[in-house]
Amino acid sequence: MTGILAGLRIVEGSAFIAAPLGGMTLAQLGADVIRFDDIKGGLDSDRWPITKDGRSIYWAGLNKGKRSIAVDLRNPRGHELLTALITAPGEGAGIFTTNMPARGWLSYEELAKKRADLIALNIVGARDGSAHVDYTVNAITGFPMVTGPVGHDGPVNAVAPPWDLATAYAGALAIVAAERHRRMTGQGQRIVLPLQDMALAATSALGYIGEAAVNNVDRPRFGNEIFGTFGRDFKTKDGRFVMICIFSDRHVDALAEAGGFAKAFKKIEASKGVDLKTDAGRWTARAELCAVIEPWVAAQTAAEVSAALKKAGALWAPYQSFRELAADKANVLDNPMFTVLDQPGIGRYPVAATPFQFGAFERQRPRVAPTLGQHTDEILSGILGLSDREIGKLHDDRVVAGPQ
């Protein structure tokens, strides 16, 4: 295992997306990430999507390259084992990440009694301790009320969970920053990262709170249009959709070239009194731009439109379904980030490695996710130094479990 974070060991007590994806991000950069779960599996062990046999494709996706230990989380002996694992000695060890309630034996105070320089990341729902998930946090941000078709009554939820994703990578950042700090000063610490505050900070960063407060307006729903510049989906002759955007001068020229729109664009500039090379100009003239682009796209197949846009270097992309993506040569099958893996119990399919390309390290191929308890014995023996007899007794007493 070589990667930029080789030598770090992180113990993870997690479920769902933010905490597991944060841990996996570190594992795919070379850290030894050990996920513990209850011997019956975690809250997300059966989470959908599942195979026809009921195996969780979801779980496999978010736990790649980790080791798994299964422990009875209601048993005080289980707590002792995990406390020992979380606080085991070693320069790169003593790092814990969790989105479980950090109370009792899992609290920072209790754990730090065994290792004073412990680093613990507690991902929580809300600041005040109340439950929150991506979908509830998202409702509060305001985004669902401006997402979806113009005229739609009510909210439109995100499917790709923006706040879980943000919290996952931000959590990984927090751990590496804290470990760097410990390396420099010897000091450990607890880090609290509320999913809710991640969402609110990003909503603030993106200008939505400022716009509402300063301009005292509620931004309306603009459907698929990109607010404040130009971008929208267009339907082709063969019923496909393409996204076409303009973010810079270069994209104006490229789009004009792709569709032969140079004269039409000039006309729009004259009639609307705008400069299409500015965000404001494009936004003001977006209806006129669409009126030019729409019939051009509608008169051609997706293949024809794509060829023209690509050739001209426009900013565009075809929409596709997940099944089309899974079979997409350029983006998946021939993408060096992907490897077709045989995930035990699930099957062979393309799986992504880390998206980072660090110049000083070769990107490692993705590794499969463990089955529940797959590494129980090797962790008890290799890290906690337990004998075969002691490990046998823990199994007999149902304090731990191996692979089912």
**Active site members:** 164
Q: Which of 140, 301, 294, 273 is nearest to 224 (CA)?
A: 294
Query: What is the rounded distance in angstroms from the CA atom of residue 364 to the CA atom of residue 354?
Result: 8
Subset of 216-275 contacting a second copy (CB under 8 A): 216-219, 224, 226-229, 231, 233, 235, 241-243, 245, 247-248, 251
Pick from 1, 2, 40, 49 the residue near a second copy by CB under 8 A: 49
Nearer to a second copy, 147 or 301 (CB): 147
- Please report whether residue 290 would count as binding a second copy according to CB under 8 A: no
Nearer to a second copy, 7 or 403 (CB): 7
Nearer to a second copy, 200 or 264 (CB): 200
Three-state DSSP at 248 gives coil
> x/- site string to a second copy, residues 368 to 397, per CB under 8 A?
------------------------------
Pick from 202, 274, 290, 312 the residue near a second copy by CB under 8 A: 202
Query: What is the rounded distance in angstroms from the CA atom of residue 110 to the CA atom of residue 228?
Result: 51
Nearer to a second copy, 63 or 376 (CB): 63
- Please report whether residue 191 would count as binding a second copy according to CB under 8 A: yes
312: which 2 tokens? 């001209």
C-alpha distances (whole Å) from 152 to each of 162, 220, 243 are 22, 11, 21
Segment lying near a second copy (by CB under 8 A), choices 32-40, 163-171, 255-263, 394-402: 163-171
Q: Degrees (nearest 5) of the Cα angle 330, 331, 335? A: 80
According to DSSP, the β-strands at 400-401 and 347-352 are: unpaired
Q: Which of 316, 315, 333 is nearest to 325 (CA)?
A: 333
Nearer to a second copy, 15 or 383 (CB): 15
Q: How far is the CB of 49 from a second copy (least distance, A)?
A: 4
Dihedral, 143, 148, 149, 151 alpha carbons, nearest 10: -40
118: which 2 tokens? 């412990």
Q: How far is the CB of 291 from a second copy (least distance, A)?
A: 18
- Please report whether residue 19 would count as binding a second copy according to CB under 8 A: no
Q: How far is the CB of 235 from a second copy (least distance, A)?
A: 7
394: which 2 tokens? 């823990």
Cβ atoms of 162 and 138 closer than 8 Å: yes
Pick from 89, 104, 109, 213 the residue near a second copy by CB under 8 A: 213
CB-count burial class (<10 Å; 0-12, 13-18, 19+) for 277: middle
Segment lying near a second copy (by CB under 8 A), choices 74-82, 210-218, 293-301, 383-391: 210-218
Pick from 181, 272, 367, 393 the residue near a second copy by CB under 8 A: 181
Q: Which of 280, 297, 220 is nearest to 246 (CA)?
A: 280
Nearer to a second copy, 90 or 207 (CB): 207
Query: What is the rounded distance in angstroms from the CA atom of residue 136 to the CA atom of residue 32?
Result: 32
Subset of 294-333 contacting a second copy (CB under 8 A): 313, 315-328, 331-332
Pick from 75, 189, 300, 301 the residue near a second copy by CB under 8 A: 189
124: which 2 tokens? 């929580």
Query: What is the rounded distance in angstroms from the CA atom of residue 352 to the CA atom of residue 367?
Result: 9
Q: How far is the CB of 403 from a second copy (least distance, A)?
A: 20
Give 93's DSSP letter: -
> x/- site string to a second copy, residues 74 to 113, per CB under 8 A?
----------------------------------x-----
Q: How far is the CB of 397 from a second copy (least distance, A)?
A: 25
- Please report whether residue 357 would count as binding a second copy according to CB under 8 A: yes
Q: Please give the single-letter amino acid code of residue 327.
A: A
Q: How far is the CB of 394 from a second copy (least distance, A)?
A: 27
